[in-house]
C-alpha cells in the first residue's frame, strides 16, 4: 500500500528527488510559487508521468496555464532509473503578462523497491503481492507463515536453534522463512539515501532476521563483486531484540537480497502469533538531522501453531519404555507394532529410570509452513523420571521441542498428557474443525476445589487456535486423565471415526447377560498370579460396587453430553465399552477427610493404542465362556464391525496395577494432516 508523498520545491533551485516506482509525489504549486505568479507550465522527460489536480481546462500545461489556489502537481515514475538524475521535470512560473518569474527544476531518480514474502502460501516468494502486509485465514486468505525454529541442528552441545543468535549450519536455513528484498535502479542510491529494515520491540521478542551471505545480483557484475567481499562471513544477524532497526545494503541494478526470518516463540496468551517487518527508504535532509522515511514497505507473518495428531492419522513410530518388570507388555507391543508395520522405539531404563508412562511425559505434534514441516514434541510440566527423554532423545535435526514451565505446586496429575488428547476432524453446527479439537480434563465446573491442568499449558493450548480445546471433567478419576474413559478409532463410514467411551452400564449389561445364560460362576481375573478371582454372580451381588459404578457412569455421561455437543456427535458415533470402575479413598488435606476417586476395576480397554486398523487393547482378564474371555469377545465384535482388529496385550501386573494401561504406557508419532492449517476459516 503506497501513500502519496508531499514534496517541497523551491523556485530558482535544482533539487534532486528519489521516487519509488509506483508511488506518487504531490507538489503544491501555489505554495512554492514566487509572489504574484499567475500562470505555470510543466515540462518533463518521457519517463516521468505527471498530471494536475484539479484538472485544468487546458489540455496541455506545457504552455502557461492559470495558477489555481489549490493546484497540485502529481508525479509518478513508471520505470526504474539506470543512472542517477536520469529524469527531469521543471515547473515554470509566470506573472500577469506571462513573463517568467521563476523556475523549479527536479532531477529525478526512480528506484523499484519491494520487500517480498510468500504471501500466497505456495512455497515461492512472489513479487510484490498486494496483500503481503496483512494476514487472512482461509483458502482465499493470504499472509506468510513462520516456523518456530525449535529443532536442533547441533550435534554436540544440543540446544534448540532458537537459543543461538547466529547460524552455524546452512541446514538451519530451511527452518526459516525466506524474505526477499527486490530492488532495481542505478548502481547506487543518491548521496545520503539509505534502506533500513525495522520491526517493533514487541515483535522482536518473537522473531530474528538474518541476511544471506551471497546476494543475488541479477545483472550487475560490479556491485556483485563489491558485496561478495562485504558479506562473505556467514549470515549476519540483521534484526533481533537488541537491534530493532538496521541499514540494509542497496545493491544496484536488478537485485534480489535474501533474508531468513526465524520464529522464536509459539503463540501464547500474550502473543497472537502475528509479526510485521518494515523496510523503509530514508531521505537525508542535511548533515546532523535525522533522515526521514519517504517510502515504507511492510510484510506480515503468522507463527505456525503447534498441531496435535489424532488417532485417525497414520502412525510413523511407536514409543514405549522398557523396565525391569514389563517384559510381557513389551513382547505384546513388539508383536503388535511389527505386525502393523511401524517403527518401534524403546526407551531404555537408563533413560526412563523406571518411569514407564510414555504417554504422560510428552505429546507429539508438528509445525508446518508451505514449504516445510517437522514434528515437535510438547514436553509436559509433569517432569517425572522420564523428564529428560523428550529433550535428550527427541530434540534433534528436524525434530522440534517446546515446553511450558510451571511451578511445582501448580502441577498435578492432570498435567500428564494422558489428559491431553485430540479429536479427529469434525463439523459442529456448520463450523468445520478440519484439524479436530483438543480435549483436556479439568475439575468439575461447580467444584470449589479440585485439580486442574496448569494454566501455562492451558494458555498455550488455547493460543494455538487451530484445534480449539474442549475441557472435560476428569477430576473424578484418581489419576484424572481423559484417556481413562475415552478414545477415538477410525471407521469406514459416517464421520470416519467412532468415539469410544468406557461404560459401567455396558459392563453390567454384559455381566447380567452372562448370568442369565448360566455363566454366573465364570470368574474374572482367573489365572492371574496375585489377583483373587471373582465370579460374575459375586460382582452382580456387590451393591456397593454397583453404586460406585452408577456414580462413574454419571460422570462419564456428563462428559458424553459435552463431547456430543462440542464435537457434533450423534448416538451412532459413540460406542460404549463394557468397563467397570471402583472408587478408592484418597487422603486429602488435613482435617478434610477422605476423597473418593475412581480407578478401573479390571484392565481399562478404552485405554488402547490405535495403529491404523490395529488396536492394542489392555487384556481385561474377564470371565471365560467356552474358553474365551467374554469381555474380549464383546470388544472384538464391537470393533470388527468397523474393520478393526483387536490385539489384547497383557499389561496387568506392570501397568494396570500401577493405575495405567496400554495407552498410558505408549506414545505414537503420526503423519501430519493433509489439511493446511492456514486454510482454516476463522
Ligand atoms: C544529481 O542532481 C543533484 C541536484 O541537482 C546533484 O547535486 C547531484 O550531484 C547529481 N548527481 C549526479 C550523479 O549527477
Ligand atoms: C511499519 O509500517 C507500518 C505501515 O507503514 C506502520 O504503521 C508501523 O508502525 C511500522 N512499524 C515499525 C516497527 O516501523
Ligand atoms: C480449570 O480450567 C478450566 C478450563 O480452562 C477453567 O474453566 C476452570 O475455571 C478451572 N478450574 C479451576 C478449579 O481452576
List, for residues 38-78, the tens digit of each pLDDT value: 999 999 999 899 888 877 766 677 788 888 888 899 999 98
Q: Which CATH class is domain 307-679?
A: alpha beta
Cα–Cα dist 556/543, whole Å: 20
Q: Is the CB of 16 under 6 A from ligand 1?
A: yes
Q: Which residue has the cell 498410558?
A: 664
Beta-carbon contacts of residue 656 (< 8 Å; ≥ 6 apart) = 600, 602, 603, 604, 618
Q: How confident is the model over 215-244, as a mean pLDDT?
A: 63
Distance 85 CA to ligand 1 centre (A): 6
- Minimal CA–CA distance to 67: which of 42, 89, 50, 86? 42
pLDDT for the residue numbered 4: 85
**Domain spans in the chain, listed from the N-terminal domain onward:** 3-111, 117-303, 307-679
- Closest listed ligand to the CA of 3: 2
Strands 486-490 and 497-503: antiparallel
Q: How confident is the model over 23-49, as a mean pLDDT?
A: 91
Cell of 409: 505446586
Asked if pLDDT for residue 182 goes beyond 90, the answer is yes
Residue 371, CA distances (Å) to 161, 273, 355 in order: 19, 19, 38
Asked if pLDDT for residue 230 goes beyond 60, the answer is no
Q: What are phi and psi of 149, to 5 degrees?
A: -80, 65
Residue nearest atom 9 of ligand 3, based on CA coordinates: 445
Cα–Cα dist 594/414, whole Å: 19
pLDDT for the residue numbered 124: 96
Distance 63 CA to ligand 3 centre (A): 78
Cα–Cα dist 653/350, whole Å: 21
- Closest listed ligand to the CA of 444: 3
Q: Is the CB of 84 under 6 A from ligand 1?
A: yes
Q: Which residues pair with 258 in a beta bridge?
A: 180
Q: Is the CB of 196 under 6 A from ligand 1?
A: no
pLDDT for the residue numbered 13: 86
List, for residues 470-507, the tens digit of each pLDDT value: 999 999 999 999 999 999 999 999 999 999 999 999 99
List, for residues 632-666, the tens digit of each pLDDT value: 999 999 999 999 999 999 999 999 999 999 999 99
pLDDT for the residue numbered 228: 44
Q: Which residue has the cell 506573472?
A: 95
Q: Is the CB of 414 under 6 A from ligand 3?
A: no
DSSP-derived letter for residue 363 is: E
**Mutation pick for ligand 3 pocket among 443, 450, 463 (CB with most ligand atoms within 8 Å):** 443
Distance 469 CA to ligand 3 centre (A): 13
Residue 116: other Cβ atoms inside 10 A: 22
- Closest listed ligand to the CA of 296: 2
List, for residues 376-407, the tens digit of each pLDDT value: 999 999 989 999 999 999 999 999 999 999 99
Beta-carbon contacts of residue 376 (< 8 Å; ≥ 6 apart) = 148, 150, 151, 306, 364, 365, 366, 367, 399, 400, 401, 402
Distance 86 CA to ligand 1 centre (A): 10
Cell of 452: 486442574
Q: Provide the whole-model pTM.
A: 0.93
Q: Percent of the chain beyond pLDDT 70?
A: 94
How sure is the predictor about 447, in pLDDT bands with cuts at 50, 70 and 90?
low
568 three-class SS: coil
- Minimal CA–CA distance to 235: which of 254, 255, 262, 217? 262
Fold assignment, 117-303? Immunoglobulin-like (2.60.40)
Residue 594: other Cβ atoms inside 10 A: 10
Asked if pLDDT for residue 612 goes beyond 50, the answer is yes
Ramachandran sector of residue 438 (left: φ over 0; alpha: ψ -120 to 50; beta: rest): beta
Cα–Cα dist 441/652, whole Å: 25
Q: Closest ligand 1 atom to the C-alpha of 15?
A: 4
First to last CA, the chain: 25
Instruction: Give the lowest-confidence range in 188-192, 275-279, 615-619.
Output: 188-192
- Closest listed ligand to the CA of 441: 3
Cα–Cα dist 233/337, whole Å: 48
Q: Is the CB of 471 under 6 A from ligand 3?
A: yes
How sure is the predictor about 340, in pLDDT bands with cuts at 50, 70 and 90?
very high
Q: How confident is the model over 549-575, as a mean pLDDT?
A: 98
From the list 50, 321, 347, 664, the catalytic residue is 664
Q: Which residues pair with 114 in a beta bridge?
A: 182
| Active site annotation includes 664 | yes
12 compared with 640, residue with greater pLDDT: 640
Q: Is the CB of 442 under 6 A from ligand 3?
A: yes
**Mutation pick for ligand 2 pocket among 207, 246, 296, 299 (CB with most ligand atoms within 8 Å):** 296
Residue 144, CA distances (Å) to 129, 273, 279, 303 in order: 11, 12, 16, 9
Q: Percent of the chain beyond pLDDT 90?
A: 81
Q: Is the CB of 452 under 6 A from ligand 3?
A: yes
Fold assignment, 3-111? Immunoglobulin-like (2.60.40)
Q: What DSSP line would sit under 331-346, residue for residue?
A: HHHHHHHHHHT-EEEE
Cα–Cα dist 394/305, whole Å: 19
Asked if pLDDT for residue 217 goes beyond 70, the answer is no
Asked if pLDDT for residue 621 goes beyond 70, the answer is yes
Q: Is the CB of 85 under 6 A from ligand 1?
A: yes
pLDDT for the residue numbered 444: 76
Residue 506: other Cβ atoms inside 10 A: 19
How sure is the predictor about 308, in pLDDT bands with cuts at 50, 70 and 90?
very high
pLDDT for the residue numbered 592: 60
How sure is the predictor about 158, in pLDDT bands with cuts at 50, 70 and 90?
confident
Distance 74 CA to ligand 2 centre (A): 25
Cα–Cα dist 328/315, whole Å: 23
Instruction: Give the lowest-confidence range in 231-240, 261-270, 457-466, 522-531.
Output: 231-240
Helices (DSSP H) in 490-542: which residue ranges? 504-516, 536-541
Distance 468 CA to ligand 3 centre (A): 16
Instruction: Give the lowest-confidence range in 165-169, 591-595, 601-605.
Output: 591-595
Is there a common fold for 3-111 and 117-303? Answer: yes
Cell of 3: 501513500
pLDDT for the residue numbered 59: 65
Burial class (CB in 10 A: 0-12, 13-18, 19+), 627: exposed
Residue 48, CA distances (Å) to 82, 156, 369 in order: 14, 59, 41
Distance 271 CA to ligand 3 centre (A): 21
Asked if pLDDT for residue 305 goes beyond 70, the answer is yes
Q: Is the CB of 90 under 6 A from ligand 1?
A: no
Amino acid at each position: 500500500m503506497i501513500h502519496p508523498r508531499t514534496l517541497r520545491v523551491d523556485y530558482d533551485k535544482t533539487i534532486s528527488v528519489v521516487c519509488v516506482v509506483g508511488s506518487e509525489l504531490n507538489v503544491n504549486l501555489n505554495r512554492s510559487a514566487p509572489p504574484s505568479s499567475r500562470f505555470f507550465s510543466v515540462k518533463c522527460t518521457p519517463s516521468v508521468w505527471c498530471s494536475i489536480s484539479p484538472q485544468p481546462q487546458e489540455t496541455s500545461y506545457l504552455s502557461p496555464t492559470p495558477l489555481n489556489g489549490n493546484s497540485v502537481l502529481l508525479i509518478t515514475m513508471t520505470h526504474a532509473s539506470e543512472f542517477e538524475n536520469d529524469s527531469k521535470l521543471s515547473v515554470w512560473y509566470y506573472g500577469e503578462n506571462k513573463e517568467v518569474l521563476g523556475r523549479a527544476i527536479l532531477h529525478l531518480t526512480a528506484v523499484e523497491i519491494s520487500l517480498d514474502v510468500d504471501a500466497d502460501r505456495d512455497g515461492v516468494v512472489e513479487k510484490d503481492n498486494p496483500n503481503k502486509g496483512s494476514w487472512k485465514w482461509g483458502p482465499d486468505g493470504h499472509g506468510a507463515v513462520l516456523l518456530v525454529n525449535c529443532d536442533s541442528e547441533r550435534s554436540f552441545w544440543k540446544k534448540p536453534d532458537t537459543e543461538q543468535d547466529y547460524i552455524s549450519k546452512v541446514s538451519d536455513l530451511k527452518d526459516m522463512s525466506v524474505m526477499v528484498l527486490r530492488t532495481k535502479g542505478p548502481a547506487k542510491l543518491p548521496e545520503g539515501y539509505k534502506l533500513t529494515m525495522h520491526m517493533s520491540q514487541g515483535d522482536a521478542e518473537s522473531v530474528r532476521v538474518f541476511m544471506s551471505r551471497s546476494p543475488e545480483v541479477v545483472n550487475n557484475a560490479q556491485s556483485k563483486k563489491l558485496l561478495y567481499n562485504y558479506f562473505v562471513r556467514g549470515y549476519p544477524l540483521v534484526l533481533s531484540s537488541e537491534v530493532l532497526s538496521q541499514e540494509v545494503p542497496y545493491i544496484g541494478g536488478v537485485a534480489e537480497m535474501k533474508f531468513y526470518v526465524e520464529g522464536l516463540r509459539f503463540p501464547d496468551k500474550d502473543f497472537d502469533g502475528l509479526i510485521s517487518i518494515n523496510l523503509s527508504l530514508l531521505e537525508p535532509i542535511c548533515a546532523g538531522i535525522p533522515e526521514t522515511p519517504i517510502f515504507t514497505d511492510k510484510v506480515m507473518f503468522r507463527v505456525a501453531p503447534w498441531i496435535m495428531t489424532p488417532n485417525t492419522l497414520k502412525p510413523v513410530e511407536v514409543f514405549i519404555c522398557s523396565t525391569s518388570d514389563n517384559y510381557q507388555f513389551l513382547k505384546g507391543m513388539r508383536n503388535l507394532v511389527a505386525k502393523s508395520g511401524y517403527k518401534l522405539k524403546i526407551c531404555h531404563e537408563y533413560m526412563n529410570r523406571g518411569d514407564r508412562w510414555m504417554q504422560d511425559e510428552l505429546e507429539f505434534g508438528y509445525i508446518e509452513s508451505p514449504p516445510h514441516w517437522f514434528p515437535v514434541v510438547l514436553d509436559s510440566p509433569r517432569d517425572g523420571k522420564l523428564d529428560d527423554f523428550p529433550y535428550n532423545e527427541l530434540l534433534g535435526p528436524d525434530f522440534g521441542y517446546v515446553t511450558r514451565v510451571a511451578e511445582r505446586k501448580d502441577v498435578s496429575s492432570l498435567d500428564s498428557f494422558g489428559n491431553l488428547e485430540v479429536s479427529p476432524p469434525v463439523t459442529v453446527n456448520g463450523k468445520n474443525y478440519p484439524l479436530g479439537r483438543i480435549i483436556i480434563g479439568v475439575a468439575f465446573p461447580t467444584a470449589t476445589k479440585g485439580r486442574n491442568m496448569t494454566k501455562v499449558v492451558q494458555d498455550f493450548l488455547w493460543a494455538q487456535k487451530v484445534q480449539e480445546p474442549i475441557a472435560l471433567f476428569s477430576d473424578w478419576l484418581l489419576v484424572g486423565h481423559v484417556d481413562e474413559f475415552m478414545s477415538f478409532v477410525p471407521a469406514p463410514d459416517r464421520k470416519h471415526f467412532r468415539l469410544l467411551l468406557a461404560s459401567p452400564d455396558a459392563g453390567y449389561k454384559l455381566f447380567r447377560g452372562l448370568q442369565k445364560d448360566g455363566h454366573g460362576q465364570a470368574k474374572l481375573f482367573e489365572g492371574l498370579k496375585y489377583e483373587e478371582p471373582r465370579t460374575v454372580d459375586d460382582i452382580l451381588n456387590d451393591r456397593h460396587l454397583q453404586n460406585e459404578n452408577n456414580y462413574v457412569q454419571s460422570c462419564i455421561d456428563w462428559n458424553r453430553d459435552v463431547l456430543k455437543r462440542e464435537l457434533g456427535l450423534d448416538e451412532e458415533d459413540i460406542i460404549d465399552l463394557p468397563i467397570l470402575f471402583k472408587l478408592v479413598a484418597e487422603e486429602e488435606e488435613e482435617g478434610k477427610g477422605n476423597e473418593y476417586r475412581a480407578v478401573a476395576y479390571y484392565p481399562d480397554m478404552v485405554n488402547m493404542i490405535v495403529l491404523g486398523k490395529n488396536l492394542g487393547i489392555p487384556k481385561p482378564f474377564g470371565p471365560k465362556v467356552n474358553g474365551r474371555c467374554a469381555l474380549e469377545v464383546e470388544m472384538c465384535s464391537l470393533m470388527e464391525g468397523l474393520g478393526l482388529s483387536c490385539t489384547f496385550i497383557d499389561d496387568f501386573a506392570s501397568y494396570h496395577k500401577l493405575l495405567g494401561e496400554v495407552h498410558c504406557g505408549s506414545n505414537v508419532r503420526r503423519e501430519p494432516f493433509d489439511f493446511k492449517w492456514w486454510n482454516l476459516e476463522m
